């Protein structure tokens, strides 16, 4: 198992390998997203965080996931179009991934182990679960889907100053 976030690579929406080491020295908010979820309007808050803090070193990374109620049924291209058309998303939205189970994206396996959820469970319960990763590549905290992106601002500010 890798020892930090930056040692992983993922695929972007065009299936190109994307090295997470490109974000070394930045604070990353990782979110499993979906376009047909009750929490989908959080795209607005995520984009606002990104726009506000990007120049200070924040990156928001979206990972579409169809494991919860089939709420992300589209292709990677359809997901990208949805994010652009409906929410004006400019932060990176990667290729669709699994976040739970045997085919879970390795970076998600690592983050879940580094920051288990309620009662120590590693499984992600729903879309829009968020992980805040520090400049050192370690998970700072995990936030439930019900946590609005803007409420994470104080933790982002603290991580950016670290």
Active site residues: 37
List b or e across 126-148, with b for residues whose CB sees 16 or more CB atoms inside 10 angstroms: bbbbbbbbbbebebbebbebebb
Residue with tokens 């995520």: 46
Give me the pLDDT at residue 119, please: 77
Digit-coded pLDDT (tens) for 50-83: 999 999 999 999 999 999 999 999 999 999 999 9
pLDDT band at 117; cut points 50, 70, 90: confident
Give me the pLDDT at residue 143, please: 96
Residue 111 burial (CB < 10 Å; 0-12/13-18/19+)? Answer: buried
Q: State the pTM of this model.
A: 0.95
CATH number, domain at 38? 3.40.30.10
Mean pLDDT over 138-145 rounds to 96
Give me the pLDDT at residue 118, please: 76
pLDDT band at 46; cut points 50, 70, 90: very high
d(CA 100, CA 103) in angstroms, rounded, equals: 7
**Number of separate domains in the chain:** 1
In which domain, by residue range, is 99 found?
Answer: 5-161
**DSSP code, position 115:** S
């Amino acid at each position: 198992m890798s020892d930090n976030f930056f040692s992983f690579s993922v695929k972007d929406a065009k299936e190109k390998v994307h090295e997470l080491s490109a974000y070394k020295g930045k604070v990353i908010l990782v979110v499993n997203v979906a376009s047909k979820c009750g929490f989908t309007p959080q795209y607005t808050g995520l984009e606002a965080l990104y726009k506000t803090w990007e120049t200070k070193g924040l990156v928001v990374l979206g990972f579409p996931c169809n494991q919860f109620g089939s709420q992300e049924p589209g292709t990677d291209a359809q997901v990208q179009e949805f994010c652009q058309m409906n929410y004006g998303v400019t932060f990176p939205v990667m290729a669709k991934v699994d976040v739970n189970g045997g085919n879970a994206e390795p970076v998600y396996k690592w983050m879940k182990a580094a920051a288990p959820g309620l009662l120590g469970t590693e499984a992600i319960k729903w879309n829009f679960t968020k992980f805040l990763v520090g400049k050192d590549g370690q998970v700072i905290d995990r936030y439930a889907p019900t946590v609005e992106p803007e409420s994470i601002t104080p933790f982002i500010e603290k991580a950016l100053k670290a």
